[in-house]
Amino acid sequence: MEEEATPLPEPSLFSSDDGEENSEPSSSEDGELRRQEEDEHSGRRGQRRSMCWSGCGRPNITCICPFLPSSPIPTSTHLIILHHPHELRANKLATLPALCRSLIRCHPVPGRRIRPGSSPLLDCLSTSPSSPVLFLFPTFDSSKPALDLERWAADTPPDSRAEPILIVFDATWRHAKEMATASIPFLSRFAMQVQIGGGCDTRSEGPSTFESGLVLRKEPWKGCLSTIEAVARALRVLEPEGKGVEIEGMLLAILRAMVAFQACHLKIVNPRPRLKKKGKGLGSCPPTLKSGTN
């Protein structure tokens, strides 16, 4: 609980290198130039679209295979990720594919809510829980905060938190909130809601890609984490014998690589000045009366 490149403009067919202005090439030269430009443009477009299908599934120019483990890492934690049906299709910055290629016990479940039949593992645990089940999502109501994951781990004996199941929601924040809310009627029977640290602070704006090496796209509020960062922070706490620190470092290295590629293709845009509301401030104009009205 984050863009296709704009087409390059066509190069001008007119040249002033020889000192002659408005010199127009002949029709045969014009056709040859156009063919060359189309070939070059097609080559550039083909290069942009070449994909690393045998590895990370990303474009070759942003391939993160060197940062992925040679084989998926085994964990004691079972990770169930409910991802919105539109997330992988519409979000080119989705981190779910990297998670699935990095962790053995990562089980993606497409859908808008978790309910009976969504996961055989959860169906079994809902009737006879044998392992602790946690769903990771921050609460936005400060009067009813979710339990801090580190606090839960500290207060729970090791034998009682072995082989945990962690449920994560992967979507935009608006969709993720809807998915978590729709899943609570089923999850509340056997699962406990936890969050990372103090959760989200809706009074403070979240960082952007230029302000943090772990932010793929600007977060709406302070404390919001991408799916892969949230999983990394959670596994650091849940995995035994210090193994979680190693897994956290590996997952965050993947995220940093994705952020670095994304930052190279972004432009800093100055925020627009906020306009003062009509009738307020020095720049507002007083209302005028129309002539001929009472």
DSSP string, 11-42: PPS---TTS-TT-PPPHHHHHHHHHHHHHHHH
Cα–Cα distance for residue pair 111/83, rounded to 1 Å: 6
Write the DSSP symbol of residue 159.
G
Token reading at 8:
């390059």
Predicted local confidence at residue 170, as pLDDT? 93
Say how many CA atoms lie within 13 Å of 37 toward its Cβ: 12
Task: Give me the count of residues in the chain.
Answer: 294
DSSP annotation of 84: -
DSSP-derived secondary structure letter, 259: H
Residue 209 confidence (pLDDT): 65
The pLDDT score that the predictor gives to residue 10 is 40
Cα of 275 vs its chain's centroid, Å:
31
Q: Are 209 and 262 in contact (CB under 8 A)?
A: yes
Cα–Cα distance measured from residue 59 to residue 79, given in angstroms and rounded to the nearest whole number: 27
Q: Hey, how many other C-beta atoms are within 10 angstroms of the C-beta on 210?
A: 12
Q: What is the pLDDT of residues 43-97, one digit of tens each?
A: 555 445 688 888 888 888 888 999 999 999 999 999 999 999 887 665 667 889 9
pLDDT in tens, 241-284: 889 999 999 999 999 998 888 877 665 555 566 666 665 554 44
Note if the pTM is more than 0.75: no
CA-to-CA distance for 270 and 45, rounded, in angstroms?
Answer: 29
Identify the sign of the CA torsion 238, 240, 242, 246: negative
pLDDT of 217 above 70: yes
Q: For residue 107, which phi and psi values (nearest 5 degrees)?
A: -120, 100
